[in-house]
Structure 1
Amino acid sequence: MPPGVAYPAVLSQQPPWRALLGIVLALAGYTVVTALVSSAVVGAGYLAQQPGVPLGDYRAAAVRYQNPVGFLAQSLSIAAVIAVCWALMRWLHGLPLGWLSSVRPGLRWRYLGWCLLAAAVVVYGIVAATAVVGPQPLVWRPQPGLVAVLLVVVLVTPLQSAAEEYLFRGYLLQTMGSFFPTPWVGVILSSLLFAALHGSQNLPLFVNRLAFGLLAATLVLATGGLEAGIAAHIINNVGAYTLAGFTASIADLRAVRSLGWSDAMLDVAGFALFAVVAVLLARRLRLPVTTPATPTGSGGRR
């Protein structure tokens, strides 16, 4: 990899047809892999539990997250997208997955740890403040099977969150960066796709997800890697699923299709505040935002 290359331009040294083919294969792989893994997990759960209902009814309940197996199936299916990104980088581009992690290449674990801490303080602080001063107090009503749900949240949700960052802010941002002289086209297109693939939603909820995608992608440009976006995504999802498990259910959270403008803007403000902190941390740690002058391994530790 030549020195001085910004993160969105990592794949720009290769023929454009590879990037175009990669985008098609990434989206197809996302669709196929998530469907296959989800079906396999639900099928295995049905065989293991022997629930005494038709498979179709069991599968429908799983899709709505009405049992922990459905939540596990969905989480694992998205987590498996990391394998899609690895395969495309390895076999189509001839590069290790580390070049999607950062320009070092590889995950900068120290920075990731600090970003996780900062995201937890900002996001959970806002949630706690809202619970205290909000018009409706939280009602603690743990859902059935809470232990199983929390195990999925702790063990799988971080991988699921990271996989979305590797696909949207990583691979798609880099492949789109091969076609346009400015990285902002890739930032906008990948963020629109990220928000749209969340399914049916009202305008405030779509704007909320779009804003998260735009902020996460901007952090990639500002820090030279995915660590800040991964941290924000993990903290947001772990917190949302955990809170839903204790106060309602994962199924209720899965069924949400609308959000008020005030709640949407509060979330965006929290993400924006974290983004500022993440950039300041990156500067404090003196993280490079372009590829190094001397080739390094694929497992950066900074």
Structure 2
Amino acid sequence: MARTPVNRWWRPLVGTVVIAAAFVGVAVVVLLGGTIVAQLSGVPVLMDGGMFGDPVLELAVMLLSIALVLPFVFGAAWLVQRRPPGTLSSVAGRLRWGWLLICLVVALGAVILGQVAMALTYAATGEGVGELFGWVGWERFLPALLVVVLLVPFQAATEEYVFRGWVLQGFGAYFRSPWPGILLGAAMFTSLHAYTDWGIVDVFGFGVLMGWMAVRTGGLEAPIALHVVNNVVSFLPPAASGDLGDALRQGTVPWQAISGTVVQLGFFAVVTLIIAHKRAIQTVSR
């Protein structure tokens, strides 16, 4: 999609610098705004182990600092690459909302199956799963629920537009194969996370499959759908149990969690591609 008549070797590089600068600039502004809100509301500003004493505020700042980069991604496509921003969404030049809705339903099933597989693996290896679930009460859960539901879709979509849209398409213009762009996007996506050991494998594998799905389905609808559902489901249980602060720390991931990821990604890829084939979803530009 980035291989247009006006494409030049420097356009993807300049656009990437613009987007990277936007990431930094937006993060600084949002963090400053969050600090002001914290000071006015009496929330401690932490110097170690997190940003704020309120994990909901910290989550909101984290999600906003990513979500607000999306207009800059569209701007880079329009002003630097001289192409319609909609071409980042799909080969149709727009986000295909009906297809996105179908992918969301498949993603929900995939994530549920992945959670079940992970719980069964924990149980089979003698690890308890009871501590993963709890109830902190509506007074504390509702603010977190609102933040997750309102902001996670935009945060997840922005990451997909950056790594499976801009990077995959922009650097794909240099190569005949999409794989250099897929792997580069997955590596950059992984670098934004603070996970270690198995967590790195988990995130990188997710990034690779989402890049491949973007190519095979001709757009970002499938990656956005799974990313949104996965993140919502990842945040809500710790928010409900009062462990949201620990969830934001990322860090190490038990190997048992990989079983859930394999089931989730495998189910989503197979079912989505079958449906895309049956519905003759457009996969190449015309």
TM-score (normalizing by structure 1): 0.85
The answer on 1:232 being equivalent to 2:215 is no
Structure 2 counterpart SS, 1:239:
helix
Task: Give unmatched runs, 5+ long, in structure 2.
Answer: none
The answer on 1:256 being equivalent to 2:250 is yes
The answer on 1:27 being equivalent to 2:20 is yes
Counterpart for residue 113 of structure 2: 125
Q: Distance in 2 between matches of 1:198 and 1:63?
A: 16
Q: Which one of the candidate residues 147, 152, 168 is aligned to 1:152?
A: 147
The answer on 1:41 being equivalent to 2:13 is no
Change in 2 beyond 3 A, CA 1:44/1:11 = farther
Change in 2 beyond 3 A, CA 1:110/1:46 = same
Residue range with higher mean Cα deviation, 235-244 or 277-286: 277-286
Tell me the matched-pair count.
279
Which whole-Å deviations, capped at 9, do the CAs of 1:227-257 have from their partners, x for residues lacking one?
A: 0000000000000101111134211111231
Letter of the structure 2 residue corresponding to residue 104 of structure 1: A
Change in 2 beyond 3 A, CA 1:65/1:164 = farther
Structure 1 residue 216: Cα displacement: 0.2
Give % identity: 29
Letter of the structure 2 residue corresponding to residue 16 of structure 1: W
- Aligned ranges for residues 54-203 of structure 1 at < 5 Å? 57=45, 63=51, 66-128=54-116, 130-131=118-119, 134-135=122-123, 136-138=128-130, 139-142=133-136, 145-199=140-194, 201-203=195-197
Letter of the structure 1 residue corresponding to residue 281 of structure 2: L
Letter of the structure 1 residue corresponding to residue 179 of structure 2: W
Q: Distance in 1 between matches of 2:118 and 2:177?
A: 39
TM-score (normalizing by structure 2): 0.89
The answer to whether the 8 A contact 2:156-2:228 is kept is: yes
The answer to whether the 8 A contact 2:134-2:237 is kept is: no
Change in 2 beyond 3 A, CA 1:243/1:229 = same
The answer to whether the 8 A contact 2:117-2:260 is kept is: no
Q: Distance in 2 between matches of 1:251 and 1:238?
A: 15
The answer on 1:223 being equivalent to 2:251 is no
Which whole-Å deviations, capped at 9, do the CAs of 1:111-148 have from their partners, x for residues lacking one?
A: 10011001101211331454467422334132772111
Q: Distance in 2 between matches of 1:275 and 1:11?
A: 29
Counterpart for residue 243 of structure 1: 237
Structure 1 residue 45: Cα displacement: 4.2
Task: Give unmatched runs, 5+ long, in structure 1.
Answer: 1-6, 293-302
- Aligned ranges for residues 277-296 of structure 1 at < 5 Å? 277-292=271-286
Structure 1 counterpart SS, 2:186:
helix
Structure 1 residue 258: Cα displacement: 0.8
Q: Distance in 1 between matches of 2:49 and 2:198?
A: 28
Q: Distance in 2 between matches of 1:180 and 1:65?
A: 47
Q: Distance in 2 between matches of 1:286 and 1:65?
A: 50
Change in 2 beyond 3 A, CA 1:148/1:10 = farther
Q: Distance in 1 between matches of 2:175 and 2:68?
A: 29
Change in 2 beyond 3 A, CA 1:13/1:239 = same
Structure 1 residue 37: Cα displacement: 2.1
Structure of greater relative contact order (alpha carbons < 8 Å, 6+ residues apart): 1
